[in-house]
Structures are given as structure tokens and as C-alpha cells.
Chain A
Amino acid sequence: MALFPRTLFALTLGLSALLLSQWPTRIAEAADKLVVYSGRAERLIKPVLDEFQAKSGIQIDLLSSGTTELVNRLQAEGDHTPADVFLTNDAGSLEHARELKLLRPMNMREVERAIPSQYRASDNSWIGLSGRFWIVVYNTNMVKPDQIKSLLDLGQPQWKDKIAIPNSGSEYLQAGVSVIKTTFGDDRTKQFLQGLKSNAGSQVYQKSSQIVEAVAKGQVAVGIVNHYYIYRHLATQPTAPIAAIMTDQQEGGMGAIMNVTGIGVTRASKHVDSAKLLIEFLVAQAGQKLFADLDKEYPLHPDVKTDPALVDRHSFRAALVPLARLAELREATLTLIEQVGLR
């Protein structure tokens, strides 16, 4: 009759044995292996890493998660982190990781030749790989492109219940608000955010792709997104009635808000040479083309051509706030966002 507890214990013992058998694979340090923590969607990074793995023979273990979560994880893991490389979507987060001394300064000529200095940390502990712009997507049946000149226009009452915005946890939104705040000051930014909050109502989304979808369906007329989500949507649904507006291009305007995807080597990494090979691969012309085109982003290497589907990079200006400042600006931005009560 005591069959059940025995079965249970046997089952647990068996499973524990299996658990122990998996142990050594983690402890053992494979020489040709890199552990990559990635804050960018797996689909948008894995093909490039697979290509690198095939070329170099270095095995890549990928952990995809949220950007801030990964910074928190790297910090919690400290010296014990299995990560060799941290790759993510937001320069502010990379700079913050640098300030926490999680990343390792690098001295690489290839990088200095390929990537302009405004897209790197001062000590190269993180290196920008591709650029993206936080701009406006609109439904071409509902809005004329000349109705919107600046991002700040979306705070006007005429857009009540017509716009979709990302939630306040989004690193893009935080970076964007930091840039606006630096350009226009606290009061105008606060006014803008209050307008945005009231205009968006419940149309607050977790992902840019959901915003593009809502605009394409006509659920809202306008949304604020990273530019590449528009082109990714158009790539699968070419007839969708959506288009991009590069905002704040008027004379003396702020310029479109830019951010980069970047990479850094962790301080605790024991595979710095392999990590260097990966960075070399990504900043070289072929790697830049592959990396940027996969996600419809702008390559940062000046000699690499942009995907022809995108707005020509030379036809618009980017905002002037240095990327590395995004980290120091973040705390004040978060306070402002919370004062306004954005979701």
C-alpha cells in the first residue's frame, strides 16, 4: 500500500541523478565558446551569430531577455557571471553597465576605424553596431504626413484617442524622453507627456510591433515606434496603409531621436580573445551589412550602404544629445515619467 510514496521518492531520485549528470557540462569551461546575453529579440540576432559560429568555429550560447533585466542579472551575478558578451538595444543601458564596471574597456583598431566615435563609449567598453530612430508611424488613410512635424505635436488635444504609445518601461521611450527633456527642458516635456498620456488613454503597448499593428488596422491613427518595426511590418504585408515620418526636421528642430544597438565584453569574461573576434566580425563591412539589414536598421560603418527600403540616412538629421549621456539622464527622466503617471 505504500507504493505511492516509494514511487515518488524513486522518481525524485531519478530526476536528481539526471540533474547531477548535467552538472559538469556547465562547470567545464569549453575553450571555444562564448556566452552572449542579448537584450534584442532572438530572431533578429541569432542568424548573425550563427554565421559567426560557422565562420569561426566558436560556439555561441545565447540568452535572450529584456535589456534592464539583463543588466540587473549581470550585476547580481558579478564575477560569477557566465556571460562573455552583452549585446543590447539601448546605449543608455550599455553606458549604465559600463558605469557599474560590468564591461571591459577594449583597445581595438578595427573598431576605431569602422565605428565613428559618437557611437562608442569613451573607453570602448561598449561599441555601437547599428542605429535606429524613434519616430512616428501613421495610417496613410487617416492622416496626412504634413499634419505632424514634431514628436511634440502628438501631445496636442487634436490627437485625443488617436495615438498609441509604448509603456513607460520601454527603454526607447525612456531614452526618447531624455533627449526631449535635454532639448526642450522639463516644463515642455512634462506638458508633452501629459498630453501624450491623455491622448493615448488605454492604447499603451508593451511592444513597438503591436503599435504598428494597431496603426495598420486603423485602431489608432498614429503611433511612436522604432523605425524598423514599420519596415518589418511592410516586408510581410506590403499593402499595409502605414508610413514613417522622420520627426523634428524643421529648421532649428531637435532632429530625429536616435539610439544604437551595441555590444560590450564583460569584465568577468575568460574568453576575451573569442569575444574580440566576434566584435571584429560585427564591425567589418560584411558583418555591418548583415547585422543592419536583418533588422532594417542603419549600419554605423560609414562605408556600408543602408537597405534601400529605408529613408536615406543623408536626408534627415539626428538629435544631438550624445548617446553616452542617456545613462546619466535616465533617473531624472524616470522621475518625470512617474510624476506624469505614464503607464
Chain B
Amino acid sequence: MLTATRVQAPSSLQWVSLFTAALLVFPTAYIVYVAMTAAPAVWTRLWSTRIPELLGNTLSLAVGVALTTLILGVSLAWITVRYDFPGRRIWEWALALPLAMPTYVLAYVYAHLMGMGGPAEQWWQLLFGPEARLPSPQSFAGVTMIMVLDTFPFVYLLVRSALQNLNVSFEEVARACGVSPWATLRRVTLPLIRPAIAAGLALVILYVISDFGAVSLLRYQTLTYAVYQQMTSRYDHAAASILSLLLVVMAIIFLMTERWFRQRSRFYQTSGRYRRSTRQHAGPLGTALITSYVVLVFGAAFGIPVAMLIQWSVEAISQGALDTRFLGFIWNSSFLAALAACGAVIIGLPLAYLASRRPSRLNIACLQAAYAGYALPGPVAALAVLVLFTHFAPALYGTVVVLVIAYILHFLPVGLQSMEPALQQVTPNVEEVARTLGCTTHQSLWRVTLPLVRNGFVVAWVLMFLQTMKELPATLLLRPVGFDTLAIRVWLESSEEYYQLAAPAALLIVLLSLPALMLLVSKDWRGDPQEGIK
């Protein structure tokens, strides 16, 4: 390990990061405060009625989705990086597309397809008799499947990028020393991509436990859904805060586990001897297997839902659902998402940089603070921001600023998950060389570190852009009057069962997210980690 940690006096960067962390931790602190000061009667009431069921449902869903995405994500990444098969370039790209699909859209499409009397059931009954029943999309299996289809790209993308940046020499050395291919995979490759797997799974789990759209449509009782129900049916937020506190604690436990995994294995890409792995050519049988696997996953996660959306959109448009207001919604959505993503990258940079370069307790604590927001369900994060602004900056209330801050708070962890590993993979030696060659700290940051971590940061930007685009509860609570986004349109229409009318906006969210996704997976951004130094 080539870490070089030096003790330094707090720099201006440190102050910035402290300040940001304090701001980011405020909503959580507020929620904890409200929960702790709630009447004991509220606590006992919740414990005796709701909490055991909610905890059980939430945990089992998180674990179920995590395990399934692990298998799906790693296997798909492995196939696309290590094998060559017809259409590989297209599938490589296509498998990231489900990220553009909001869970609530996927949930609705499947509720329609697999629900009672839906097309899938009619087929099923044609095959197995009129009494045959499909597993309900509202069941544990159904909800798990829908969440998996929406979240597996997190694992897929991060593992894929780790596999691509993996120095194949390590594996070759192992093989040359007589280690079997399986043992090489287990003892060399998997440990090397473990940080990426852990980061991907952490994203998936945080996503699942804070998701609102799918679980509410499928009526699957999780903590986040219960928080929303409490918030929208109660004037005081004691019960909602208590349930949120449980969520935050749960998220922190997950994050600490992930960090523990990553801390135990910190790898730097050493310069010079990096070589990319060569692809193995898949034979006819292999090609058939790979293709059907990939087609199945892609079809279920993206192909079928989009086909449904297109069909509904055509019906809706023929009924005259599109008008000029749509242009405004498109602009509002893209504008908000871009602003939030840029803001979050800038805010996240000092936090991630300090935590990975000078991992003092303070710096790591600052970084951890930033992760708190993701565990807060959207509505609660929104509420806390709302209180902050009405107390301290009422003039800003009801403006876009408030909304953007809530987004940053909520989605910064998504970005940090890929900014942090990117920074960790740059060996501090490179910066030190820059310093010895006469660069100042600032110069070395700008001219060496940032270009090197560009990939990770682009991924972070895109992930945050996509998440913001799809965000629902915080947007609902904080949007300025007359500032509807596409997600709001989908929600307004679909919550009244006008699913056809909701389809054009849903389809547009998907379409607008596509360029950002293309950027994410296109070749230009793919890491040649040496590029920055040459």
C-alpha cells in the first residue's frame, strides 16, 4: 500500500468541507430531534402496531434485491467485458438503459401486465388452464423482481468499469503460478472488484429502502411508504420522524458495512504496466446462451415497458394529450436535474477528496455526513429543508433554490459512491510527483487529479442527473407554483389512473435521460487511466 498520509493544518478546503457537511447533516439532525422528542406513547403505539411488520418487509426486500442484483449485475458485467459475441457493443450500452426508467413506471407497467386479467395472465391461462394464476406483482417476489430490474445497472456499471480498469497482469501472474481459473477468479479478480461490488450494492440497498414510487403503487408496506402515509395523513410529523429515524439507522448500518468491506481492500492502479484483458470469443452455443440471457434481462427491464409506454403514448396523443405546456415540463425537468447534478459534483468534491487523501477522523466524518441524506426518504428530506428555509431564509422559499438543495442533499451520496472510488484509484504518488515538479497543491489538483478522476465524476454527474429527473416526493412538496416537471406530470396523471395520459411524460423522462446515459457508457469516457498523465 502506497498511501502517504501527512498531518496538515486545516486548509480552506477543509473549512469548506466542514461547512458543507454541517449543512448536509441538518435535515437528519432535525428528524432525529423530532423523533427523540416525540411522546413515548407514539413510540409504543408504533412498536406495537406497525414497526415489526415494516422492518421485516423493508429488510427482506433490501436483502432479496441486493442478492439478485449481485448475481445479475456481476454476471452481466463479466459477460460484456470478458466475452466477445455478436451485438456486444449494443448490449453493453443497452443494459444500462433501465437506469432511465423510474420505478413507479416499471411498477405500473408490471401491475398491468401481470395483474389480474392482464395480458400475461391471459397467456398463462391459455397455457395452463383458466384457473392458473401468476405470482402477483404485489407479492414479495413481484416487488423484488421489479426493484431488481430497476437497480441491477448500478452493480453492472460499477463492476463493469472496475473490470475494464483491472490490470490483467495480476490474473496472468496467478495463472502462470499454476492457479486454476476458478481460484484466480475467487482469489484475484473478485477481491480486486470487491470495492465496486460493495459500492454498487450499497447504492442498490439505499435505493430500495428509500424508494417510494414502486412500493406505493404495488402497495408493499416498507418504512418509506409508511413514512409517506404518516406524513400525508397526519399534521404532526412525530410518527413519520420516528420511522425515518429507523430508516436512517438502517442505512448507516449498511453504509458502515460497505465501508468496512472497502477499507479492508484498498487498491491503487500502478502506472506503466497496465494492460486490458483480451476478450474470449464466445462459440455458437455460448453466443446463443449469452444472447438469450441478455435479451431476457433487457426485455424485462426496458424493452417491454418502453413498448407499453409507446403504445399508451400513441393512444394518449391521438386523444390530444400533448400541448405546448409539455415543452415547459421538459425544460423544467432537464434544468433542475442539470443544476442539481452540477451543484452536487462541486459540493461533493472537497468531501470526497479530503476523505480519500487525508483520511483523518474529521474528514471521514464529513463524508459520512453527506451520505445521511440518501437514507432520508424524499418527503422527509423535503420537509426538513422546508423548515430550514422558512425559518432562516423565507425569501428563498418557494423558489427553485430550495428544490435544488433538497435534490443535492438527497442524491449527493449517489454521486459520492462513484467519486470516491475514482479518487481512491489515483495513487497519491502521482500528485506527489506533480508537487516535486513544482506544482502547487491547487495546480496538482487541477492539472493532475481532476483529469484523472474525470471518468468517475462524469459517472457521478450522470447518475445524479438521472435520479433527479425521476425524483418524485421532494419535487411534489417543494416545487414552486406552476413549476411542474415531467415526473410530476406522470404522478398527477397516473395517480388518477390515467395511465395512458401519464405515458407521454414517462416516455419523455426515459428519452431525456438517454443522452446522459449514452455519455455514461460511451467509449470516449471509458477509462484509459493513464490518459491524464501523458
Whether, in the assembled complex, A78 has its beta carbon less than 8 Å from a beta carbon of chain B, the answer is: yes
Whether, in the assembled complex, B343 has its beta carbon less than 8 Å from a beta carbon of chain A, the answer is: yes
Inter-chain contact A4/B451, CB cutoff 8 Å: yes
* Cross-chain contact of B117 among A205, A217, A341 (Cβ < 8 A): A217
* Cβ–Cβ < 8 Å partners of A234 in chain B: none
Whether, in the assembled complex, B506 has its beta carbon less than 8 Å from a beta carbon of chain A, the answer is: no
| A213 CA / B399 CA spacing, docked (Å) | 38
Question: Residue of B at shortest CB range from A19?
Answer: B400
Inter-chain contact B496/A341, CB cutoff 8 Å: no
* Cβ–Cβ < 8 Å partners of A61 in chain B: 481-482
Inter-chain contact A168/B233, CB cutoff 8 Å: yes
Whether, in the assembled complex, A143 has its beta carbon less than 8 Å from a beta carbon of chain B, the answer is: no
Q: Return B50 CB to nearest CB of chain A, in Å.
A: 7
Known: A68-B232, A167-B229. A2 touches B482 (CB 8 A): no
Whether, in the assembled complex, B450 has its beta carbon less than 8 Å from a beta carbon of chain A, the answer is: yes
Q: Which stretch in B10-18, B29-37, B386-394 binds the other chain?
A: B386-394
Whether, in the assembled complex, B324 has its beta carbon less than 8 Å from a beta carbon of chain A, the answer is: no
* Cβ–Cβ < 8 Å partners of A207 in chain B: 495-497
Question: Residue of A at shortest CB range from B111?
Answer: A210
Inter-chain contact B335/A8, CB cutoff 8 Å: no
Q: Return A50 CB to nearest CB of chain B, in Å.
A: 12
Q: Return B352 CB to nearest CB of chain A, in Å.
A: 14
* Cβ–Cβ < 8 Å partners of B45 in chain A: 335, 338-339
Q: Which residues, 7 to 34 on A, are CB-close (under 8 Å) to B?
A: 8-9, 11-12, 15-16, 18-19, 22-23, 26
* Cβ–Cβ < 8 Å partners of A168 in chain B: 229, 233
| A167 CA / B215 CA spacing, docked (Å) | 13
| A28 CA / B201 CA spacing, docked (Å) | 47
Q: Return A336 CB to nearest CB of chain B, in Å.
A: 11
Whether, in the assembled complex, B476 has its beta carbon less than 8 Å from a beta carbon of chain A, the answer is: yes
* Cβ–Cβ < 8 Å partners of A23 in chain B: 399
* Cross-chain contact of B496 among A41, A63, A78, A174 (Cβ < 8 A): A41
- Map CB proximity to A onto B62-85 as digits: 1 under 8 Å, 0 otherwise: 000000000000000000000000
Whether, in the assembled complex, B310 has its beta carbon less than 8 Å from a beta carbon of chain A, the answer is: no
| A329 CA / B158 CA spacing, docked (Å) | 53
* Cβ–Cβ < 8 Å partners of A314 in chain B: none
Inter-chain contact B219/A202, CB cutoff 8 Å: yes
Q: Return B471 CB to nearest CB of chain A, in Å.
A: 15
Known: A61-B482, A68-B235, A76-B387. A15 touches B339 (CB 8 A): yes
- Map CB proximity to B onto A302-343 as digits: 1 under 8 Å, 0 otherwise: 000000000000000000000000000000001100110101
| A209 CA / B450 CA spacing, docked (Å) | 52
| A334 CA / B42 CA spacing, docked (Å) | 12
Whether, in the assembled complex, A112 has its beta carbon less than 8 Å from a beta carbon of chain B, the answer is: no
Question: Residue of B at shortest CB range from A169?
Answer: B233
* Cross-chain contact of A1 among B342, B343, B447 (Cβ < 8 A): B447
Whether, in the assembled complex, B234 has its beta carbon less than 8 Å from a beta carbon of chain A, the answer is: yes
Question: Residue of B at shortest CB range from A205?
Answer: B219
Known: A68-B234, A71-B235. A82 touches B345 (CB 8 A): no
Whether, in the assembled complex, B116 has its beta carbon less than 8 Å from a beta carbon of chain A, the answer is: yes
* Cβ–Cβ < 8 Å partners of B481 in chain A: 35, 61-63, 82-83
| A338 CA / B54 CA spacing, docked (Å) | 14
* Cβ–Cβ < 8 Å partners of B58 in chain A: none
* Cross-chain contact of B446 among A2, A72, A218, A341 (Cβ < 8 A): A2
Please indicate which of the listed interface residues B50, B235, B450 has the most CB atoms of chain A within 10 Å of its own CB.
Answer: B235
* Cβ–Cβ < 8 Å partners of A3 in chain B: 451
* Cross-chain contact of B399 among A12, A15, A26, A170 (Cβ < 8 A): A26
| A256 CA / B92 CA spacing, docked (Å) | 59
Inter-chain contact A206/B496, CB cutoff 8 Å: no
Known: A1-B532, A4-B450, A26-B480. A76 touches B235 (CB 8 A): no
Inter-chain contact B495/A341, CB cutoff 8 Å: no
* Cross-chain contact of A66 among B50, B232, B339, B447 (Cβ < 8 A): B232
Inter-chain contact A77/B233, CB cutoff 8 Å: no
Whether, in the assembled complex, A73 has its beta carbon less than 8 Å from a beta carbon of chain B, the answer is: yes
- Size of B's binding interface in residues, CB under 8 A: 58
Question: Residue of A at shortest CB range from B117?
Answer: A217
Whether, in the assembled complex, A42 has its beta carbon less than 8 Å from a beta carbon of chain B, the answer is: yes
Inter-chain contact B231/A1, CB cutoff 8 Å: no
Whether, in the assembled complex, B221 has its beta carbon less than 8 Å from a beta carbon of chain A, the answer is: yes
Whether, in the assembled complex, A64 has its beta carbon less than 8 Å from a beta carbon of chain B, the answer is: yes
| A76 CA / B492 CA spacing, docked (Å) | 23
Q: Which residues, 220 to 249 on B, are CB-close (under 8 Å) to A?
A: 221, 228-235
Inter-chain contact A73/B233, CB cutoff 8 Å: no
Interchain pairs with CB closer than 8 A, number: 144
| A82 CA / B395 CA spacing, docked (Å) | 11
Please indicate which of the listed interface residues B49, B447, B450, B481 has the most CB atoms of chain A within 10 Å of its own CB.
Answer: B481
Inter-chain contact B492/A4, CB cutoff 8 Å: no
Q: Return A177 CB to nearest CB of chain B, in Å.
A: 12
* Cross-chain contact of A15 among B116, B219, B338, B386 (Cβ < 8 A): B338
Whether, in the assembled complex, B19 has its beta carbon less than 8 Å from a beta carbon of chain A, the answer is: no
Inter-chain contact A209/B496, CB cutoff 8 Å: yes
* Cross-chain contact of A210 among B232, B398, B493, B497 (Cβ < 8 A): B497
* Cβ–Cβ < 8 Å partners of B386 in chain A: 73, 76
Known: A12-B346, A206-B219, A210-B497. A19 touches B339 (CB 8 A): yes
* Cross-chain contact of A169 among B232, B335, B397 (Cβ < 8 A): B232
Q: Which residues, 148 to 207 on A, are CB-close (under 8 Å) to B?
A: 167-171, 174, 202, 204-207
Question: Residue of A at shortest CB range from B497?
Answer: A209
Q: Return B392 CB to nearest CB of chain A, in Å.
A: 12
Q: Return A307 CB to nearest CB of chain B, in Å.
A: 19
Known: A4-B457, A68-B235. A202 touches B390 (CB 8 A): no
* Cβ–Cβ < 8 Å partners of B395 in chain A: 80
Known: A204-B219, A217-B116, A219-B116. A2 touches B338 (CB 8 A): no
Whether, in the assembled complex, A120 has its beta carbon less than 8 Å from a beta carbon of chain B, the answer is: no
* Cβ–Cβ < 8 Å partners of A2 in chain B: 446-447, 450-451
Inter-chain contact B335/A18, CB cutoff 8 Å: yes
Q: Return A75 CB to nearest CB of chain B, in Å.
A: 8
* Cβ–Cβ < 8 Å partners of A15 in chain B: 335, 338-339, 342
* Cβ–Cβ < 8 Å partners of B297 in chain A: none
Inter-chain contact A78/B138, CB cutoff 8 Å: no
| A160 CA / B138 CA spacing, docked (Å) | 19
* Cβ–Cβ < 8 Å partners of B221 in chain A: 343
Inter-chain contact B116/A64, CB cutoff 8 Å: no
* Cβ–Cβ < 8 Å partners of B532 in chain A: 1
Inter-chain contact A206/B335, CB cutoff 8 Å: no
| A83 CA / B480 CA spacing, docked (Å) | 11
Q: Which residues, 188 to 244 on A, are CB-close (under 8 Å) to B?
A: 202, 204-207, 209-210, 213-214, 217-219
Inter-chain contact B446/A8, CB cutoff 8 Å: no
Inter-chain contact B342/A8, CB cutoff 8 Å: yes
Whether, in the assembled complex, B216 has its beta carbon less than 8 Å from a beta carbon of chain A, the answer is: yes
Can you name 10 A-B pairs with beta carbons within 8 Å? A4-B458, A8-B342, A12-B342, A15-B338, A26-B480, A42-B492, A69-B476, A69-B477, A78-B390, A209-B497
Inter-chain pairs besides A77-B390, A219-B117, 5 sampled, C-beta below 8 Å: A4-B457, A12-B339, A66-B232, A207-B497, A341-B50
- Going nearest first, the 8 A-B pairs with the smallest beta carbon separation are A169-B233, A12-B342, A209-B497, A169-B229, A1-B451, A61-B482, A341-B49, A4-B454
Residues of A within 8 A of B (CB): 1-5, 8-9, 11-12, 15-16, 18-19, 22-23, 26, 35, 41-43, 61-66, 68-69, 71-73, 75-78, 80, 82-83, 96, 167-171, 174, 202, 204-207, 209-210, 213-214, 217-219, 334-335, 338-339, 341, 343
